[in-house]
């Protein structure tokens, strides 16, 4: 809750700064303004990134722009591990069975590769043919397509636990990156295997051609190595991250590297863990999807210059990067969980190209021209082909905005250009469902005032962009929730200097320190009224008349007030931020607080008993019917000594005490007796013996 404040404290084409005012009601905010009114501002990469992008992107400068569009083809498998484009066909390596999918247009052909759990890699190997790797083990299978005929034949078995990546060598063979141990093998079209190099790590996770050499990324040491034809290995860089999952070589020779920071072993370990799971029925998540692979800690896309300088271009927290591919002079990465596409290019702001509805953007594929051509997702496997033209305008849908209670939404402001439509909807549950209202277009008049009304706790806004030039930098939405009252959680009336029983006397003070604790969830300026009345009397007397106090405290001087019991009330309202109809109040009362500014009446006498011992007898009475808490005496000007109550307890307005004074020999003696009441008033009397 916000601490309470004391003291004063439309047209279809929307140009830059266009204002649209909506007569909406949804949710109640954590207010930034008085009266439960708040301007909810959505701006920047984080806020726009939390929404849903459709044919739109958000760059790291926080600008929402038109983005790419994709055509989806359902492949009919739970997980995808690799993909490659061959002409107008896309080959997809899948699990949880050792099946290779060939997608051409809308046609999906399933090719069974024999015993196994996963197809972990696939590469083009000659015209009409591909080579795929089956897991577990490192079995390579050649698949050829001639018209409607598909042939499957074993090619080779590598001396490794599994194959992580395959790349065609341009001669009908492939180069393989393996795990257990990390190694690079060359396999020709006849199935002859030659080990090119063994690397000092557990897994060779990815490889990419660089002239007549190969760049290889490893796990869990996070190495990027260059492997020459003769098997020579040179370490290009040892990264801090544990798993290198993608390498793209730029035209200037620098590298874009996708790396995951994951002490648990990354995807390599995840696959080994999945072996046990996949030997049984495929694990499923809600909705019948296969369960996502274990998520990584953080994904990084790094720029490694020839000089060795490294620049982080993008970090995705609590997500792993699953694939990286060239896109012009930059690269596109797919993430999971989250199925988000991220594009980076040195010297330019990184951007989110889009969100896909599945759990993971597992594989990103480039065309022969070096441009992103498709994305393959997992859970389930869907092929998303990039389209040359947008079939529909770009849209961005905000995250669900929660006002915590029903509220009135007002002005909606879009800061940008090229916006062609605004829509809003709301509901009473946090996930949009059939109970939510339908999307309603916001069409403003010349005054920019919308004629749409909506009552709901949760709300969303959807923005449609021009497919050409458009940008949105911020969206702000004013909402007013029901005014929430101040909350008083404590109120006390303290007497400064009041003695503690048994302690020395304190200076009595007529002042009372009033303190209270109050919170106002809407952050309104608070107005305070303090009233008192004598116990048993109906009429209240105002000490403070509706003031904005600098702090929740007040000093009440009781001088001139008759002794007795008083009720003390504090009333706090949010009138400082609301009109009379919306003002809310809270009050709290301390009952029967004693005002006593009169000293006790004390009587003292000295007399000798039958044995001749001097005896002090003292009586103290509080005229205000308060409580005597202490009696003490001083004999002949010496140190004070405490007297005990005759009945053993100081609990009455009148107390008596006595003390034998054997040290007082014959002769005159003087004694002073002091009495202190519960509020620190001190009375005294003196006595003399002859």
Domain ranges of the chain: 19-67+394-478, 79-283+291-386, 487-595, 601-689
What's the pLDDT tens digit per position in 571-611?
Answer: 999 999 888 989 999 999 999 999 999 999 999 999 998 88
Instruction: Classify the C-alpha dihedral 642-644-649-652 as positive or negative.
Output: negative
Q: Which of 35-39, 58-62, 115-119, 439-443 has the lowest mean pLDDT?
A: 35-39
Q: Rounded to whole angstroms, how far apart are CA atoms 590 and 581?
A: 28
Query: pLDDT value at position 444?
Result: 57
Quickly count: other Cβ atoms within 10 Å of residue 103's Cβ. Answer: 23
Instruction: Look up residue 426 and give its two tokens.
Output: 């709301």
Q: Tokens 């609990």 — which residue?
A: 651
Q: Which of 24-38, 86-100, 126-140, 377-391 has the lowest mean pLDDT?
A: 24-38
CA angle 219, 220, 221 (to 5 degrees): 95
Q: Are 55 and 66 in contact (CB under 8 A)?
A: yes
Query: pLDDT value at position 365?
Result: 95
Would you give the DSSP letter of residue 308? S
Full DSSP string of 175-195: EEEEETTTEEEEE-TT--EEE
Q: Rounded to whole angstroms, how far apart are CA atoms 641 and 255?
A: 90
pLDDT band at 268 (very low <50, low <70, confident <90, very high): low
pLDDT band at 523 (very low <50, low <70, confident <90, very high): confident
pLDDT band at 8 (very low <50, low <70, confident <90, very high): very low
Q: For 79-283+291-386, CATH number? A: 2.130.10.10
Residue with more model confidence, 28 or 225? 225
Q: Are 336 and 358 in contact (CB under 8 A)?
A: no
Would you give the DSSP letter of residue 35? G
b/e per residue, 392-413, with b = 16+ CB within 10 A?
Answer: ebbbbbbebbebeebbbbbbbb
What's the pLDDT tens digit per position in 159-187?
Answer: 999 999 999 998 899 999 999 889 999 99
Q: Are 37 and 31 in contact (CB under 8 A)?
A: yes
Query: pLDDT value at position 522?
Result: 84
Query: pLDDT value at position 624?
Result: 86
Give the residue from 202, 198, 245 showing the smallest Cα distance to 221.
Answer: 202
Q: Tokens 């007399």 — which residue?
A: 607
Full DSSP string of 559-608: TTSPSEEEEEEEEEE-TTSS-TTT--EEEEEEEEEEE--SPPEEEEEEEE
CA angle 537, 541, 544 (to 5 degrees): 150
601-689 to CATH, choices 3.40.50.2300, 2.60.40.60, 2.60.40.1080, 2.60.40.650: 2.60.40.650
> Mean pLDDT for the chain?
86
Query: pLDDT value at position 409?
Result: 82
Residues in a beta bridge with 564 = 595
Q: Are 521 and 32 in contact (CB under 8 A)?
A: no
274: phi then psi, degrees, rounded to nearest 5: -70, -25
Query: pLDDT value at position 293?
Result: 47
50: phi then psi, degrees, rounded to nearest 5: -70, -20
Instruction: Look up residue 142 and give its two tokens.
Output: 């050649």
**How far, CA to CA in Å, does 242 sit from each of 221, 331, 494, 604?**
5, 21, 63, 90
What's the pLDDT tens digit per position in 336-363?
Answer: 888 899 999 999 878 888 889 899 999 9
Strands across the sheet containing 614-621: 601-608, 614-621, 654-661
pLDDT band at 14 (very low <50, low <70, confident <90, very high): very low
E strand or H helix at 44: helix 44-50
Instruction: Look up residue 320 and give its two tokens.
Output: 């792993």
Q: For 19-67+394-478, CATH number? A: 2.60.120
Q: Rounded to whole angstroms, how far apart are CA atoms 331 and 343?
A: 6
45: phi then psi, degrees, rounded to nearest 5: -60, -35
Q: Are 345 and 328 in contact (CB under 8 A)?
A: yes
E strand or H helix at 142: strand 139-146
E strand or H helix at 409: strand 406-417
Average pLDDT over residues 92-104: 92
Give the residue from 66, 82, 64, 67 showing the smallest Cα distance to 375.
Answer: 82
Residue with more model confidence, 201 or 279? 201
Percent of the chain topping pLDDT 90: 66
What's the pLDDT tens digit per position in 271-320?
Answer: 555 554 444 444 443 333 444 444 457 899 999 999 999 999 999 988 89
Average pLDDT over residues 44-65: 88
487-595 to CATH, choices 3.30.110.40, 2.30.30.240, 2.60.40.10, 3.10.20.30: 2.60.40.10
pTM of the model: 0.64
Distance of CA 547 to the CA centre of its chain: 38
pLDDT at 48 over 80: yes
Q: Tokens 């509080």 — which residue?
A: 622
Upstream peptide bond of 337 is cis (omega within 30 degrees of 0): yes
Query: Beta strand pairing status for 471-480 and 406-417?
Result: antiparallel
Who contacts 359 (Cβ-Cβ below 8 Å, separation ≥6)? 285, 289, 292, 336, 337, 338, 339, 377, 378, 379
Kindly state the greatest CA–CA separation across the chain: 138
Residues in a beta bridge with 393 = none
Q: Rounded to whole angstroms, how far apart are CA atoms 448 and 397?
A: 21
pLDDT at 71 over 70: yes
**How far, CA to CA in Å, does 455 sit from each of 408, 425, 484?**
7, 9, 18
Residue with more model confidence, 509 or 471? 471
Query: pLDDT value at position 17?
Result: 34
Fold: same for 79-283+291-386 and 601-689: no
Give the residue from 436, 438, 450 showing the smallest Cα distance to 478.
Answer: 450
How close are the terminal C-alpha atoms of the chain, in Å?
A: 72
pLDDT band at 500 (very low <50, low <70, confident <90, very high): low
Query: pLDDT value at position 441?
Result: 87
Query: pLDDT value at position 680?
Result: 87
Instruction: Look up residue 396 and give its two tokens.
Output: 């961005």
CA angle 380, 384, 386 (to 5 degrees): 170
Q: Are 589 and 623 in contact (CB under 8 A)?
A: no
Query: pLDDT value at position 187?
Result: 96
pLDDT band at 509 (very low <50, low <70, confident <90, very high): confident
Query: Beta strand pairing status for 139-146 and 129-135?
Result: antiparallel
Full DSSP string of 444-479: --TT-B-----B-SEEEEEEEE-SSS-EEEEEEEEE
Percent of the chain topping pLDDT 70: 87
pLDDT at 530 over 50: yes
Q: Rounded to whole angstroms, how far apart are CA atoms 35 and 32?
A: 9
Q: Which of 17-31, 461-475, 629-643 has the lowest mean pLDDT?
A: 17-31
Give the residue from 164, 170, 258, 244 showing the smallest Cα distance to 211.
Answer: 170
- The 3-state DSSP class for residue 273 equals helix
Q: Rounded to whole angstroms, how far apart are CA atoms 580 and 566?
A: 30
Query: pLDDT value at position 449?
Result: 36
Length of the chain: 690
Instruction: Look up residue 608 and give its two tokens.
Output: 């000798």
Residue with more model confidence, 226 or 34? 226
Query: pLDDT value at position 263?
Result: 61
Who contacts 293 (Cβ-Cβ below 8 Å, separation ≥6)? 79, 267, 270, 274, 336, 360, 378
pLDDT at 538 over 90: yes
Residue with more model confidence, 31 or 509? 509
CA angle 59, 64, 70 (to 5 degrees): 85
């Amino acid at each position: 809750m916000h601490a309470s404040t004391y003291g004063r404290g439309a047209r279809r084409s929307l140009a830059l700064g266009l204002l649209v005012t909506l007569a909406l009601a949804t949710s109640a905010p954590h207010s930034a303004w008085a009266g439960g009114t708040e301007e909810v501002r959505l701006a920047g990469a984080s806020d726009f990134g939390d929404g849903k992008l459709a044919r739109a992107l958000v760059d790291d400068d926080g600008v929402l722009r038109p983005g790419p569009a994709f055509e989806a083809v359902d492949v009919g498998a739970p997980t995808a591990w690799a993909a490659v484009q061959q002409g107008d066909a896309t080959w997809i390596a899948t699990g949880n069975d050792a099946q290779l999918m060939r997608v051409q247009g809308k046609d999906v052909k399933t090719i069974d590769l024999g015993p196994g759990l996963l197809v972990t890699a696939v590469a083009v190997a000659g015209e009409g043919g591909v080579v795929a790797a089956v897991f577990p083990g490192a079995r390579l299978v050649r698949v050829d397509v001639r018209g409607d005929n598909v042939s499957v034949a074993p090619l080779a078995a590598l001396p490794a636990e599994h194959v992580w990546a395959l790349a065609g060598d341009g001669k009908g063979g492939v180069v393989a990156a393996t795990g257990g141990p990390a190694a690079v093998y060359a396999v020709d079209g006849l199935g002859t295997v030659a080990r090119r190099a063994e690397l000092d790590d557990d897994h060779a996770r990815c490889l990419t051609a660089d002239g007549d050499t190969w760049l290889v990324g490893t796990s869990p040491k996070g190495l990027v190595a260059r492997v020459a034809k003769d098997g020579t290995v040179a370490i290009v860089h040892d990264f801090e991250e544990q798993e290198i999952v993608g390498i793209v070589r730029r035209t200037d020779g620098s590298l874009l590297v996708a790396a995951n920071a994951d002490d648990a072993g990354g995807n390599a370990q995840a696959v080994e863990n999945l072996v046990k799971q996949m030997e049984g029925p495929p694990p499923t998540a809600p909705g019948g999807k296969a369960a996502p692979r274990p998520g990584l800690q953080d994904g990084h896309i790094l720029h490694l210059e020839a000089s060795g300088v490294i620049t982080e271009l993008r970090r995705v927290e609590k997500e792993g990067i699953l694939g990286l591919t060239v896109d012009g002079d930059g690269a596109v990465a797919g993430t999971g969980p989250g199925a988000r596409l991220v594009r980076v290019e040195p010297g330019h702001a990184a951007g989110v190209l889009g969100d896909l509805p599945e759990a993971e953007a597992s594989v990103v594929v480039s065309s022969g021209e070096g441009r992103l051509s498709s994305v393959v997702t997992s859970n389930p496997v869907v092929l998303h082909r990039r389209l040359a033209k947008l079939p529909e305008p770009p849209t961005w849908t905000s995250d669900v905005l929660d006002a915590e209670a029903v509220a009135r939404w007002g002005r909606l402001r879009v800061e940008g250009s090229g916006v062609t439509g605004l829509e809003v909807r709301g509901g009473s549950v946090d996930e949009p469902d059939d109970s939510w209202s339908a999307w309603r277009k916001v069409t403003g008049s010349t005054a920019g005032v919308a004629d749409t009304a909506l009552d709901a706790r949760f709300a969303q806004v959807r923005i449609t962009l021009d497919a050409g030039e458009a940008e949105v930098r911020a969206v702000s939405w004013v909402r007013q929730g029901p005014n929430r009252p101040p909350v008083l959680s404590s109120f006390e009336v303290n007497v400064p200097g009041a003695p503690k029983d048994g302690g020395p006397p304190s200076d009595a003070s007529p002042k009372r320190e009033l303190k209270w604790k109050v919170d106002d969830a809407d952050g309104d300026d608070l107005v305070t009224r303090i009233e008192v009345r004598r116990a048993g009397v109906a009429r209240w007397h105002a000490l403070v008349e509706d003031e904005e106090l600098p702090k929740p405290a007040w000093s009440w001087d009781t001088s001139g007030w008759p002794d007795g019991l008083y009720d003390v009330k504090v009333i706090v309202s949010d009138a400082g931020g609301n009109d009379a109809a919306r003002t809310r109040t809270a009050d709290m009362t301390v009952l029967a607080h004693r005002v006593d500014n009169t000293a006790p009446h004390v009587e003292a006498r000295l007399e000798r008993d039958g044995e001749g011992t001097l005896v002090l007898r003292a009586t103290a009475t509080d005229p205000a019917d308060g409580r005597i808490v202490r009696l003490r005496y001083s004999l002949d000007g010496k140190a004070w000594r405490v007297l005990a109550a005759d009945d053993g307890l100081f609990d009455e307005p009148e107390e008596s005490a006595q003390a034998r004074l054997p040290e007082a020999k014959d002769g005159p003696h003087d004694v002073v007796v002091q009495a202190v009441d519960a509020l620190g008033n001190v009375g005294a009397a003196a006595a003399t013996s002859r």
